[in-house]
Amino acid sequence: DAGVIQSPRHEVTEMGQEVTLRCKPISGHNSLFWYRQTMMRGLELLIYFNNNVPIDDSGMPEDRFSAKMPNASFSTLKIQPSEPRDSAVYFCASSGLAGGRYNEQFFGPGTRLTVL
Amino acid sequence: AQSVTQPDIHITVSEGASLELRCNYSYGATPYLFWYVQSPGQGLQLLLKYFSGDTLVQGIKGFEAEFKRSQSSFNLRKPSVHWSDAAEYFCAVGPPGSNYKLTFGKGTLLTVNP
């Protein structure tokens, strides 16, 4: 089975440009997570979707960040406009929730974003 | 607020030596506890988890971890390290019964010398 797929794997852009990160969760999973990893702050949850609906976006740093999940097999994280401090590795993870019981989150390989 | 502390930023061991990575947490009750491993350029992979019951849990790749409530710790151990274990290890906590809202430690980078 394919795991969580993220694209692009690397993105280099200039300050002020729009950046769109993409994620395809594991088929059948109904929960999707976006994380950001930096040296200073470690791994932080940005937003959590359940059944394509955003449940908790309290980790989204500011209005420049937005995330969508138009269907069960696709999600995007958009930064507009991007700033150098957004440089980080962004991970997408998915899990299959069964009866409210915790299920493992499966992580994608990440997108390394560099904003110049 | 919940928090996770991994006191060791970087650990170096020789291949074949034993390993213990420390993890301490702060939480109002007994949380769900996890250890993840991240190889270079890869996402995180779950090694093991503790929800309740037996405080010694076994995971993949020969790893185990012990939950000690009195010390608020969940240390990861391996009796004999292999060169392929070189990676970064993350401890995480989450609210009991929750599928999300994991809080991760800053990670411990493991280097294995031949």
pLDDT in tens, B17-57: 999 999 999 987 888 999 999 998 888 999 999 988 899 99
Beta partners for residue A111, in sequence order? A90
Cα(B3)–Cα(B24) distance, integer angstroms: 8
Residue with tokens 């993949």: B60
Q: What is the pLDDT of residue A98?
A: 55
Half-sphere exposure for A91 (CA within 13 Å, toward CB)? 22
Name the 3-class secondary structure at A108: coil
For residue B105, the chain A residues in CB contact (below 8 A) are: 42
What's the CA dihedral at B34, B39, B43, B47 to 10 degrees?
-20
Name the 3-class secondary structure at A76: strand
What are the pLDDT digits (tens) for A44-89? 999 999 999 999 999 998 899 999 999 999 999 999 999 999 999 9
B100: pLDDT strictly greater than 80: no
For residue B108, what is the nearest residue in chain A, using CA coordinates?
A42
What are the pLDDT digits (tens) for B83-93? 999 999 999 99
β-pair type (B73-78, B19-21): antiparallel
Q: What is the pLDDT of residue A45?
A: 93
Name the 3-class secondary structure at A65: strand
CB A116 within 8 A of CB A11: no
- Say yes or no for a CB contact (<8 Å) between B43 and A91: yes
Q: What is the pLDDT of residue B108?
A: 97
Cα(B96)–Cα(B112) distance, integer angstroms: 34
Cα distance from B80 to chain A (closest Cα, Å)? 26
Cα Rg of chain A (Å, integer): 14
Q: What is the pLDDT of residue B83?
A: 95
Residue with tokens 């797929």: A5
- Say yes or no for a CB contact (<8 Å) between B100 and A43: no
- Say yes or no for a CB contact (<8 Å) between A42 and B97: no
Cα distance from B64 to chain A (closest Cα, Å)? 17
Q: Nearest CB to B32: which of A3, A97, A102? A: A102
